[in-house]
């Protein structure tokens, strides 16, 4: 892979990847760090990545980076870093996207990731399985459970409103 091809990958995929990481981490600085690390690894492995698999490699690397980061944060258990909004309930929503955002943040990390990859990036089940390291049937199960939770969350909000 040439430098110009690498830079084209930056142009083509960095926005989507940043959105994916940002939605998962909910922290702009952390998301930027993961972006830097991901593209740094991609640069070092650029000759090993198969042509056409660049996007998949980037999402896989970023996914594992924030999953590792999430696990480390859980081990540390630093209460000051806990995002309070994740554990509070608010019925002052201004739109459906905001409600869904809140619901999404309450999903387990695996379910959240597969739904984001499915809806935002339009990946097929086998591609999501490749990125996340899950089996295809696990991906399906996570998507079904995630959608069910989102639907129930929307239903509970509708009842409140």
**Which positions lie near another protein, rule CB under 8 A?**
3-4, 6-7, 10-11, 14-15, 17-19, 22, 32, 35-36, 39, 43, 96-97, 100, 104, 115-116, 119-120, 143-144, 147-148, 150-151, 154-155, 158
Q: Contact 59/131 with Cβ under 8 angstroms?
A: yes
Residue 112 CB, shortest distance to another protein, in Å, is: 10
For another protein, the closer of residues 66 and 71 by Cβ is: 66
Q: Are 151 and 107 in contact (CB under 8 A)?
A: no
CA 9, 48, 59 angle in degrees (round to 5)?
A: 45
Instruction: Report the distance separating Cα 80 and Cα 82, nearest Å.
Output: 6
Distance, in Å, from the CA atom of 141 to the CA atom of 121, rounded to the nearest integer, reads: 19
Of 67 and 100, which CB lies nearer to another protein in the complex structure? 100
Closest to another protein by CB, 71 or 144: 144
Q: How far is the CB of 108 from another protein (least distance, A)?
A: 16
DSSP sequence for 16-82: HHHHHHHHHH--HHHHHHHHHHHHHHHHHTTTTSPTT-HHHHHHHHHHHHHHHHHHHHHHHT-GGGS
User: In whole angstroms, how close is the CB of 32 to another protein at the nearest point?
Assistant: 6
Instruction: Report the residue number, 74 or 137, with the smaller CB distance to another protein.
Output: 137
Q: How far does Cα 40 stand from its chain's mean position?
A: 19
Least Å from the CB of residue 77 to another protein: 30
Q: Which is nearer to another protein, 71 or 85 (CB)?
A: 85
The nearest distance, CB 104 to another protein, in angstroms, is 7
């Amino acid at each position: 892979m040439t430098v110009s091809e690498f830079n084209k990958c930056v142009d083509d995929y960095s926005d989507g990847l940043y959105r994916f990481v940002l939605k998962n981490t909910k922290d702009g600085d952390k998301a930027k760090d993961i972006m830097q690390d991901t593209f740094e690894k991609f640069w070092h492995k650029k000759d090993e990545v198969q042509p056409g698999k660049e996007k998949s490699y980037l999402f896989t690397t970023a996914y594992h980076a924030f999953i590792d980061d999430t696990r480390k944060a859980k081990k540390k258990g630093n209460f000051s870093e806990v995002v309070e909004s994740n554990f509070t309930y608010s019925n002052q929503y201004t739109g459906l996207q905001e409600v869904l955002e809140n619901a999404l943040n309450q999903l387990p990390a695996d379910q959240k990731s597969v739904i984001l990859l499915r809806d935002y990036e339009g990946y097929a089940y086998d591609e999501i399985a490749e990125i996340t390291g899950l089996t295809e049937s696990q991906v399906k199960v996570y998507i079904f459970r995630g959608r069910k939770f989102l639907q129930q969350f929307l239903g509970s909000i509708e009842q409140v409103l």
